[in-house]
A and B are shown apart, each in its own frame.
Chain A
Amino acid sequence: MVFDVLADDLVPSDLTPEECQELENIRRRKQELLADIQRLKDEIAEVTNEIENLGSTEEKKNMQRNKQVAMGRKKFNMDPKKGIQFLIENDLLKNTCEDIAQFLYKGEGLNKTAIGDYLGERDEFNIQVLHAFVELHEFTDLNLVQALRQFLWSFRLPGEAQKIDRMMEAFAQRYCQCNPGVFQSTDTCYVLSFAIIMLNTSLHNPNVKDKPTAERFIAMNRGINDGGDLPEELLQNLYESIKNEPFKIPEDDGNDLTHTFFNPDREGWLLKLGGRVKTWKRRWFILTDNCLYYFEYTTDKEPRGIIPLENLSIREVEDSKKPNCFELYIPDNKDQVIKACKTEADGRVVEGNHTVYRISAPTPEEKEEWIKCIKAAISRDPFYEMLAARKKKVSSTKRH
């Protein structure tokens, strides 16, 4: 019997000498890790700081206060929440919805993408700021397109469906408040606003080949006025206005830092089963931007593989070899082999076969988390359903 001499009490332990040695090595390894971790944190802080200071042109000889305002704006543009926090802490901004809304509405030196991100957040406080922000817009006697032009120029509408929903809901309420009687309900205004935005994209985006006519647009909006139709003349005017002049949208010029940093939904080691050759390989997975990327090493600059999540489904599975498994697959083609292709070194194109992506997580908890995050990423564009649900609600209140 070996005594575990490293424990506080001399507890009889059944570990072999080899195992004791391993344990010792593991303790040493832990110390190394702690050192590595600290070093990594320091380095991250250093590089982040470096990036923050890149591209700063002005503020050389400004007064302290201006310098702080400029710093606050820069921080906001990289991370709105932190920027606001900084400004409040330095007494440059009051911690009230109205004050912050004013700051955003004025928007001086602020990136409109960052403004949109902030206004779209789910937090109760952010929602209040959103409402205060919308109140600052004056829509009285403007037609819906004019109001939308003004609204959509004041910030850049984010991509996430829930955020869009909140912001357009706030818009619709404000518009109806300013122009009572134009629409039977706020929902009508909401749905029509969406229709107009989609119309704008359809008519003016070169990638969209199917461009609706005025007649089709009018037909598409039948029944949205709480079951009734909006006057054709109104819809015709709105159509013409968009057709003649597209919305002016704040540009994302690719130079600002607002969406530059990686902010993955989730990342970690997972085991992945190969397609043709059925071996399990350990890969570092990163879930971001609606896509699953995987790497051989965490330090690889380029992903080894990419799994766009559009149109995929996910399900839990049992595997004989590995625990905590789930699969990514195309739902329509259960029995068909999904043909993929790969380019061989000499440029030949060869068909490959990949039915599903089977993945094993280290623990059941991690499996659950991954599934949850991937599901959220897959359904990141539920506004088809959201719009359909709203529209159904509007049409079902028939008033014949």
Chain B
Amino acid sequence: TVAPPWTPPRAPLLSLSPVPQKPCQAGLGGAGGCARGALLPFPCPDTPALLCCRSGDQAGLDGAGGCARGALLPFPCPDSPPCCAAGVATRLSRRRVSCRDLGRVDCDGWLLKKKDHVGFMAQKWKRCWLVLKGHTLYWYNHPNDERAAGLINVATYSLESTREQKKKYVFQLCHQTYKPFVFAAETLADLSMWVSRLVTAKTKYTLAHKDVPDKEEDCYSETEAEDPDDETPRHRSDSVNRGTLRGLRAVPSCSMPLSPWPDPAGEDLESLMLCLRQGGVSLMGQRRFLTQEQCRKSFLRRNKNPHINERVHAVRALQSTLKAKLAELQALEQLLGEAALTSDAFRRWKEEHQELYQELREGWAGQQGQGAHGDQHSPQEEAAEP
């Protein structure tokens, strides 16, 4: 379907604020089979951490609130009783959804998003992958990210035009209280499409609801930066092939290196390079390891043959242990090689090799504890360090 053309308004602002409308008409179809026409995202069994309302007997409630199927719902519907699954989900969890998990969406594509804080001589705009589903607009640094960088409940925002230096096809989402979000499209056609879809989404919402939430977490959510995890407390694991996903891990994605937006007028090969970067692939099309989960899988699965894989890991463990022992040997020789060792020098050596010295002492204490049966052989293949 071709979207109606977007005509820049003569008046400075064209506003589509959420205003109360008459109750919706039954019979509006939605993607999720809701009687009131709202769109339900697809249920996602792998994502326990996401906000999920399980109001079992509320079949027919629209998608933003109670969900009979326990589907992903970023924003609670004001009508539904807030019965969430056990566990407190913070607003961060609503962004923990990948494009893949969103399933069928209303609209997606690349847009430029205006940055809030721009350093000296830095780029003002960032290219993001936008996804509109129901009345939630998600944006990602690139389509393969494990989670969204941010999201907006478009029902709570006004869609307005605006003027931007150097960008022709812009629109913004404004809020009375919170900061606006400004987007720029590459072409008029793109702008038309987005505006039209956003209008549709907002209209559907206002037809289905009486009021519009006001709390910040119900209006938008975003992260400032993505980075590898902090250390997570885990048990020692001995198995090699734990299979693929072990439930959703907390996997923030790495942001793409920021390159200047290729100017369509003077486009060159760097932009072709960017296409590949944003697809997360190398020159020849291999997946690049950008997220923790990808790195983890690449580490664990070296060969399709599980027997070979297990043996390869065994070799790896042996070689690492060998290296550790060689390093320890070197440290000991540094001490034992001294012709006339002084107390001072010994102390210095202990200081320099604190951790090793500590372990040695623990080892000796253990041996003494065993009395006469002091075990001379250190355990096979076990690293010297507890």
A binding-site residues for B, Cβ under 8 Å: 4, 7, 11, 13-16, 19, 22-23, 25-30, 32-37, 39-41, 43-44, 47-48, 50-51, 54-55, 157, 159, 164, 191, 194-195, 197-202, 204-205, 207-212, 216-217, 219-222, 224, 249, 253-255, 257, 259-262, 267-269, 271, 274-276, 282, 284, 286, 288-291, 293, 295-308, 310-311, 330, 332-333, 336-343, 346-354, 357, 362-363, 381, 383-384, 387-388, 391
Write the residues of chain B forming the contact surface with A, with a CB cutoff of 8 angstroms.
Answer: 48-49, 86-90, 92-93, 96, 110, 129, 143-144, 223-232, 234, 236-240, 242, 247-250, 252, 254-258, 267-276, 278-292, 294-296, 298-305, 307-309, 311-329, 332-333, 335-336, 339-344, 346, 352-353, 355, 360, 363-364, 376-378, 380-383, 385
Given contacts A14-B342, A208-B278, A282-B385, contact A391 B268 (CB under 8 A): yes
Contact of A354 among B227, B237, B282, B377 (CB under 8 A): B227
A342 to chain B, nearest CB (A): 5
With known contacts A198-B275, A208-B281, A339-B227, A37–B329 Cβ distance under 8 A: yes
Are A342's CB and B229's CB within 8 A?
A: yes
Return chain B residues, CB-CB under 8 Å to A352. 229-230
Instruction: Tell which of A198, A207, A276, A293 touches B272, judged by Cβ atoms closer than 8 Å.
Output: A198
Residues from chain B with Cβ under 8 Å of A304 in the complex: 231, 234
- Pick from A159, A282, A303: contact of B286, CB under 8 Å: A159
Contacting residue for B237 out of A27, A41, A300, CB 8 A = A300
Pick from A13, A298, A351: contact of B383, CB under 8 Å: A298
Query: Interface majority SS on A: helix, strand, loop or mixed?
Result: mixed
For B49, list chain A residues within 8 Å (CB). 343, 347-349
Q: Is A37 within 8 A of B326, CB to CB?
A: yes
Within the complex, which residue of A22, A39, A301, A340 is in contact with B229, where a contact is CB–CB below 8 Å?
A: A340
Q: How many A-B residue pairs have CB under 8 A?
A: 360
Q: How far is the CB of A307 from chain B (nearest CB, A)?
A: 5
Docked pose: A216 CA to B327 CA in angstroms: 56
Task: List residues of chain B with CB within 8 A of the CB of A330.
Answer: 225, 227
B383 and A11: CB pair below 8 A? Answer: no
Option from A216, A220, A276, A310 in Cβ contact (under 8 Å) with B230:
A276
Distance A40 CA – B323 CA, assembled complex (angstroms): 10
8 contacts between A and B (CB under 8 A): A36-B378, A157-B284, A198-B283, A202-B276, A208-B275, A262-B302, A340-B230, A354-B230
| Known pairs A44-B319, A284-B320; A208 contacts B279 (CB<8 A) | yes
List chain B residues, Cβ under 8 A from A308.
228, 254, 289-292, 294-295
Most chain A CB atoms below 10 A, which of B93, B232, B284, B313? B284
* Residue contact B312 to A260, C-beta cutoff 8 Å: yes
Contacts of B308 in A (CB 8 A): 51, 54-55, 257, 260
Please provide the 10 A-B residue pairs with the shortest distance between their CB atoms, ordered closest to farther.
A208-B279, A275-B230, A338-B227, A298-B320, A341-B250, A207-B279, A298-B383, A352-B230, A254-B304, A201-B285
